């Protein structure tokens, strides 16, 4: 049972990275994996905007990616509620020169329902939401998780990335 759960968690991680990578690609940005040191700081993916001309990269965004089944979040009319690990929360509220986002990819409970494909289309089911923490967000005394809310309008899309990285 532990091995199956581990495989599912690995699949969630890879699926959520592919989701972010696809959105960044459609938006016209370069997406990649962080250095090992950045990974230790809670950064899962980095997105950079290619500047015109010499091909230099600029306008950076560090992303922490989480993936959970739809039965793990509470979907309300205007927001979703998620219990984030305290360690991840603390990394996200630290002030940094490069903006950081949490991207929460919500998937169906069954892995078989995550995608469907035909010659005409590839459908990735459910949705990814983003949360930009404010550096004034409060530290917490919680030991394991902290409950966060994300507006359901804050969908992680190519349009959002283009506006965010202007």
pLDDT tens-place string over residues 72-122: 999 999 999 999 999 999 888 887 778 899 999 999 999 999 999 999 999
Residues 148 and 138 sit within 8 Å (Cβ to Cβ): no
Quote the pLDDT of residue 94: 83
Q: Report the C-alpha gap between 58 and 5 in whole angstroms.
A: 38
Provide the pLDDT confidence category of residue 2 given band limits of 50, 70 and 90. very low
d(CA 133, CA 103): 11
Instruction: Tell me the C-alpha distance between 88 and 109, whole Å.
Output: 23
Q: DSSP state, 111?
A: G
- Separation of alpha carbons 77 and 83, rounded Å: 18
pLDDT of residue 71 exceeding 50, the answer is: yes
Is the pLDDT at 164 greater than 70? The verdict is: yes
Q: What is the pLDDT of residue 51?
A: 66
Q: All domains of the chain, ordered by start, with CATH? A: 2-164 (3.40.1350.10)
Question: Higher pLDDT residue, 117 or 32?
Answer: 117
Strand 145-151 vs strand 74-75: parallel, antiparallel, or unpaired? unpaired
Task: State the average pLDDT for the chain.
Answer: 88
Q: Does residue 56 surpass a pLDDT of 70?
A: no
H/E element, 64? strand 57-69
Q: Say what the alpha-carbon torsion angle 83, 88, 89, 92 is, to the nearest 10 degrees.
A: -140
Mind listing the pLDDT tens digit for each residue in 120-149? 999 999 999 999 987 666 778 888 999 999
Residue 165 has pLDDT above 50, yes or no: yes
pLDDT of residue 55 exceeding 60, the answer is no
């Amino acid at each position: 049972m532990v091995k199956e759960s581990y495989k599912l968690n690995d699949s969630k991680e890879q699926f959520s990275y592919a989701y972010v990578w696809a959105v960044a690609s459609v938006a016209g940005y370069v997406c990649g994996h962080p250095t090992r040191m950045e990974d230790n700081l809670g950064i899962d993916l980095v997105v950079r905007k290619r500047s015109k001309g010499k091909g230099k990269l600029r306008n950076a965004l560090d992303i922490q990616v989480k993936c959970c089944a739809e039965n793990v979040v509470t979907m309300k009319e205007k927001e979703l509620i998620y219990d984030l690990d305290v360690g991840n929360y603390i990394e996200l509220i630290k002030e940094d020169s490069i903006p950081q986002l949490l991207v929460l990819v919500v998937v169906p409970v069954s892995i078989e329902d995550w995608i469907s494909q035909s010659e005409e289309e590839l459908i990735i089911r459910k949705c990814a939401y983003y949360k930009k923490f404010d550096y004034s967000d409060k530290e917490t005394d919680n030991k394991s998780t902290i409950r966060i809310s994300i507006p359901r309008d804050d969908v992680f899309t190519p349009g959002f990335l283009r506006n965010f990285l202007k």
